[in-house]
Every structure is written in C-alpha cells, then in structure tokens.
Chain A
Amino acid sequence: MNTADQYLKAIYLVQEMDDGPASTGAVADALDVSPASANEMIGKLEGRGLAEHEKYKGVSLTDDGILRARDAIQNYCIIERFLANVLEVEEFRAEARSLEAVIDDTVAERLDTIIDRSSECPDCFDAKTDACRYLEVEQENPAD
C-alpha cells in the first residue's frame, strides 16, 4: 500500500467516525505524522481528484477517493486477518499498521486466497476498534 492509499484509508475512517469531513489534525494523528505533512499530502490528493478540502471544515473524499480508500481498507483487513488467523499474532493491529506500507495489492490478494474473509468486507471494518468486526468475534469466541 503506498502513502497516498494510507492517507485515503485514514481520511475515510476519520470521516466515518466523525460523520463528516475529517480535520487535518485528526488525519495527522491517525497517521502519526505532522499536520504540515498531512496538509501537503491532502493537497496532492486534491490535485489528483481524490479529495476535496474546505477551509475550517476539513477534507472529504470524492467518489474516486472513496473507491480507493475502500480497496485500501480491504487490503488492511486481509493483513489483519492473515496476522491474527494464520500467523496467530496477538498484536495484529500494531503489526498490520507497520506492515501495510510494504504489502502490495497483489500480495494482499494472494494472502486473501487462504483467508476466510467476509464478503461484506470492507464494511466489516470498525474504525473505532481499528479491526474487522468478525475478527473481534473470533477472538472472543475461539470456538467459532
């Protein structure tokens, strides 16, 4: 996943939690980068027609931006599920965050072939818990 996709994913999830445009500060916090870096990338996304930034309100994704953000979330969900279910990593959230930048779409797709992922993905992704809802259920009820 490249840097632009990481931003699109972060903006989408902040928008979902705030139910409105995402503030630059919230996006910067989500990505652990400076507000200046976030501002610069948001400008680039706007230039590519993926986001719209309104002063004092925040950034919203365009339809194209939403499509790419949802693909990025799906890849992230695959990485989380792979870490949790196949490699049995307890800290799967933190590890998925550190790995997403170096896992390409094609690799995520291939890992997906051995994961029993929900067809509603990425809508199963919960921004508040930063994890797939089904993954949470499986973790709480290992017998499932």
Chain B
Amino acid sequence: MSVGQQVTSDHQLARLLQIGVVLEEVVEARSTHHYRELDGDFDDEIEALLEHAAEESAEHRERLEDIIEELDAESVSYEEIEALVEAQYGQTKPEDFDGLLYDQLCNEETAYKFYDDLIGAVEGSDSRFSVDRDRLLATLREIREEEAEGVEEVTDIMERRV
C-alpha cells in the first residue's frame, strides 16, 4: 500500500476519472428520477434546477469521457449506473421539496469535493501522463467551478424557502 495522496499513473488517473463519470451519472440519474417524480406537482424553480443539474452532469461526463478515451481506457455506461440508481431509489419518492433539495446539495457537494481532491492529487504528482497536464487541470478546474456554482444555487433556493 502506498501512502500518499498523489496520482501516479495513467491507469490510476483513468480510474479516478471513471469515478468522476459515475458520480456525474449518479447526479444525472437522480435528478432525472426526481424530475419525473415531480410530474404533475409543479414547482417551476425546482424543475428548472433538476433539469439544469441533469444537463450539466451529462456535459461534465462527456468532457471526462474525452480524457478517459485519450488515456486508452473505457468509460462507464450511463445506462448501467441509471439501473443501479433506479434499483436503490426506484420505489422511493423524496418526502418533500426539502428532501429533494438536500439530496441535490449532497450530490453537488460530493462532486465538488471529489474534483477538488483530484486536482490536488494531480498537482501534487510529478508523474507524466499521456494527456496534457495543463488541459487536464483546466478541465477539472472548470468542472469544479460549475459544481461550486451548483452548491451555491441549491443553497440559495434552500435559504429562500426557509
């Protein structure tokens, strides 16, 4: 076991990006699930939030997948993760809007923390990767920024609804 918080190889980087893809897919699948559950129970602000979260996660996923492909690794299929999310949550509905927003907040915060750690681990590594390091870090920082904005957006809505 190597002790240290660094990314040391293409393989490890690809694996961590795959985890990023799965986190995005979990957000996308859960946002989509909640959005469908809202059908008939109109709340424009929350519907817009969920729709935006699902779209943004899909876009983040595609950007990560491009890098994974360059690392000569495979991504994880969205359908597979959606099925796992549905297996866990298919029978449950969020109890209320607070529960739904809280779930969304956890998703965004987790993704933010993940990218923050990953950026730190790449920055702390002397290893050479077969993808351009500057482009990799720029992509991860942009995604992290969007996750931070997502956290802020959900927090604003939650505070306004207290």
Contact = CB atoms under 8 A, between A and B. Distances in A.
B2 A101 contact: yes
Nearest to A6: B3
Contact of B16 (A33, A99, A109, A114): A99
A8 to B, nearest CB: 12
A98 B12 contact: yes
A87 interface: yes
B40 interface: no
B76 A110 contact: no
A113 to B, nearest CB: 6
B26 A114 contact: yes
| Chain B binding surface, main DSSP class | helix
Nearest to B27: A110
A95 to B, nearest CB: 7
Contacts of A99: 12, 15-16
A95 B15 contact: yes
A26 interface: no
B84 A106 contact: no
A2 B107 CA distance: 22
A87 B15 CA distance: 9
A101 B106 contact: no
A31 B1 contact: yes
Contacts of A97: 1-2
A30 B1 contact: yes
A87 B8 CA distance: 20
Most buried by A among B1, B84, B109: B1
10 A-B pairs with the lowest CB-CB distances in the bound complex, closest first: A114-B84, A110-B110, A97-B1, A106-B110, A102-B121, A107-B114, A101-B5, A31-B1, A106-B113, A3-B3
12 contacts: A3-B4, A86-B80, A98-B12, A100-B1, A101-B5, A106-B113, A106-B114, A107-B19, A111-B22, A113-B26, A114-B84, A116-B87
Interface of A: 2-3, 6, 10, 30-33, 37, 82, 86-87, 95, 97-104, 106-107, 109-111, 113-116
